[in-house]
Structure 1
Amino acid sequence: MAHRWQERERSGAPRLTDVAVLAGVSIATASRALSGGGVVSPGLTRRVLEAADELSYTVNPHARSLAGGLTSVLGLMVYEIDDPYFAEIAGGVIQVAGEHGWSVQVSHQDREAASDLAGVRMLRGQRVGALIIAGSGYRDPAKNATVNAELEAYAASGGRLVAIGHRDIGCDAVLPDNVGAARVAAEHLIALGHRRIGVISGPDTLTTVVDRGRGIDRAARAADVEEIVWAHAAFTRDGGRAATVRLLDSHPGLTAIIALNDTMATGALSVLRERGIPVPQAVSVTGIDDVQVAQDLAPALTTVRLPMASMGRQAARLALRPAGGEPTVREVGHELVVRASTAPPPA
């Protein structure tokens, strides 16, 4: 016996109306069951999903957007998408989103408050159903306030909001231990006997840099190490190269370099190699993050592991759960990974 949906012309794609008729439910119920946007009993949900499968019906997020609702798209804001740190976070987010039937739209920002603001507004315009903002906040409260006001407006409109890192905003968050990670890196070098240590770092306008710097300062004070010199540059490989050149030219007696991320550490290693300075025989190098390529560098990089992919997965699970209650904050740990790029200083 033919169903009513079979009587329509076969040339068109199946519609939500067809799914609702086949499942024996209202259009509203079918929509809620397919989007996960409301309370529908497991039995009705199963009927709707079976009908959608039989019809080969797929939800059209763009149509939902035009209708005024939020889409089953998770917005992810990152800095330097080609930075392995953010790439690994994105991989974790995409994995969990896919498990829940959501897609991910990535917005690449430029570590500037104006760029952050534009990214949030763009994703809001796309009516993403959840938004994860990954990366550092700013030392300047005014810069944070402008971006956070837009994020809070998004959350107030029904969107789910999660931060990875310190953003000075009351939302669910996944927080890496940046202070502890940097302290462990410095303590490792100090324990090896290094007392003339340079730090290559991203811009000091970022809270991540402030937190990691605090960790290094604590380790140095505890060991009465006074000669810690800094060079700031972009949080990139080229930035690492530029900062290392400045350190070596101004402080040729340094025996160790702490890079505040592994990407900058790769830049440091390349400069040392070009200058014929052996690592670790003359200068030791450490990073922070433990991106996948760290173990494949020459020499393999000593670093402090942060669980980036896990951070992305945790943030996505928070973003896709129902809203309600006090914000959840999940702190993640760190682990020193000693490889071939560090050794005691030359005698």
Structure 2
Amino acid sequence: MATLADVARRAGVSPATASRVINGSSKPVADELRERVLKAVAELRYVPNAHAQLLARPQRSVVGVLVHDVSDPYFAEVTRGLQRVATERGRLVIICNSYRDPDREVEYVDLLRAQQVAAIVLAGSGYHDPTVNALLDERLAAYAATGGRVAVVGWHRHRGDAVLPANQDGARLLGEELRRLGHRTVGVVAGPGTLTTTTDRIAGLYEGLAVSLPEERIRYADFTRQGGVQATAELLDSVPGLTAIVALNDSMAVGALAVLRERGVRVPEDVSVVGFDDMPIAADVTPALTTVRLPLADIGARAMTLALEPATDRDRVEALPAELVRRDSLGPAPS
């Protein structure tokens, strides 16, 4: 097995510098040297046994959780499940909001590694950008080399145990229901196209509708109410004759309902609207929102459970199901 001296020799640095990088020391290390050490760690597959043992000690009692925005109802529910398990196991949770900024996620991983947290949970959506994924992967590998544990929620291209929300299956259920009710001119109010959550949900919708939608019927915006307002207005202005709007989360669906109400469009008599996630507000808006229910708190709980369990030879992957919740915002396509 490679030793610390081997890593230092491969990186062309002193053992002390290599140790500071690997152990997350607060002493500053030049970026160039840090990159060389991390590259040597990856190439030599260096695992410091002392730090693997440290993971089991009680003082390593903090868990870092990266979310896009904890004020988003989706992440609030996931975080509730994460914190419940952490509290039961006597762990403190540090919540890091990345606001969908990959560079900030990389910085948070470095900070959490420096604090020698017991585990890091990536609860936000994965990215499609290969450069971003490679950089995050490098940082997470360096953290795992110190004995830390990694778990992710959703599709990520990183090592670690994973809990998969049924994004594609849930969207397929929506598509099948729309097709059954005769909807053929469907528009999509989508989140950022850079996120795997967005593309997974669009792919599932295509499966359920049994057809791909023209690009002009898809509008990308932030996963927020205002994003839903913007995307819905663009759809209505550019695509005449829509019979249904699929919003890829409930916050965007609420924005879609607001635009339709302002324009005097009846829901569902003229245009049906469906959402995704089944946030508490989905049952309270008028008309009540047809949506896909994901067990978000359970997803968070399972991710934290996996993160706090000992590592296994292979990364574990668990999938939690989705359920279609029928309410008043979805009806038959107008004849």
Q: Normalized against structure 1, the TM-score is what?
A: 0.77
Corresponding position: 1:297 with 2:316: no
Corresponding position: 1:337 with 2:325: yes
Task: Report the CA distance shift for 1:205/1:240 in structure 2 as closer, same or farther (over 3 A).
Answer: same
Q: Tell me the equivalent position of 1:313.
A: 301
Q: Whose radius of gyration is greater, 1 or 2? A: 1
Aligned-pair CA distance for 1:120: 1.5
Aligned-pair CA distance for 1:119: 2.0
Q: What is the CA deviation profile of residues 185-226 of structure 1, one whole-angstrom value per residue up to 9, with x for unaligned ones?
A: 111111111111000101111111111111122223x36877
Q: Secondary structure at the match of 1:139?
A: coil
Q: Secondary structure at the match of 2:169?
A: helix
How far apart are the structure 1 equivalents of 2:246 and 2:268? 13
How far apart are the structure 2 equivalents of 1:136 and 1:259? 17
How far apart are the structure 2 equivalents of 1:227 and 1:137? 23
Q: Normalized against structure 2, the TM-score is what?
A: 0.80
Q: Of residues 136, 143, 154 in structure 1, which corresponds to 2:132?
A: 143
Question: Retained in 2: the 8 A contact 1:190–1:223?
Answer: no
Q: Secondary structure at the match of 1:288?
A: coil
Q: What is the CA deviation profile of residues 123-180 of structure 1, one whole-angstrom value per residue up to 9, with x for unaligned ones?
A: 2233221111012111121211111211121111111110001111221000112111
Gap runs ≥5 in structure 2: 1-53
Q: Tell me the equivalent position of 2:172.
A: 183
Question: Retained in 2: the 8 A contact 1:78–1:108?
Answer: yes
Q: Secondary structure at the match of 1:137?
A: coil
Question: Retained in 2: the 8 A contact 1:196–1:228?
Answer: no
Q: Tell me the equivalent position of 1:153.
A: 142
Paired-residue identity, %: 48
Question: Retained in 2: the 8 A contact 1:117–1:146?
Answer: yes
Q: What is the CA deviation profile of residues 28-50 of structure 1, one whole-angstrom value per residue up to 9, with x for unaligned ones?
A: xxxxxxx9825xxxxxxxxxxxx
Q: Tell me the equivalent position of 1:167.
A: 156
Corresponding position: 1:114 with 2:103: yes
Corresponding position: 1:200 with 2:219: no
82-91 vs 108-117, greater mean Cα deviation: 108-117
How far apart are the structure 1 equivalents of 2:225 and 2:301? 26
Q: Of residues 224, 236, 251 in structure 2, which corresponds to 1:236?
A: 224
The residue type paired with residue 282 of structure 2 is A
Alignment map for 1:1-347 (pairs within 5 Å): 37-38=56-57, 71-220=60-209, 222=210, 229-347=217-335
Q: What is the CA deviation profile of residues 260-286 of structure 1, one whole-angstrom value per residue up to 9, with x for unaligned ones?
A: 111111111111112221111111111
Alpha-carbon RMSD: 1.9
Question: Retained in 2: the 8 A contact 1:198–1:258?
Answer: yes
Question: Retained in 2: the 8 A contact 1:76–1:131?
Answer: yes
Q: What is the CA deviation profile of residues 291-342 of structure 1, one whole-angstrom value per residue up to 9, with x for unaligned ones?
A: 1221111111101111100000001111111223211110111110001110
How far apart are the structure 2 equivalents of 1:185 and 1:153? 41
Aligned length in residues: 282
Q: Secondary structure at the match of 2:61?
A: strand
The residue type paired with residue 166 of structure 2 is D
Q: Secondary structure at the match of 1:104?
A: strand
Gap runs ≥5 in structure 1: 1-34, 39-58, 65-70
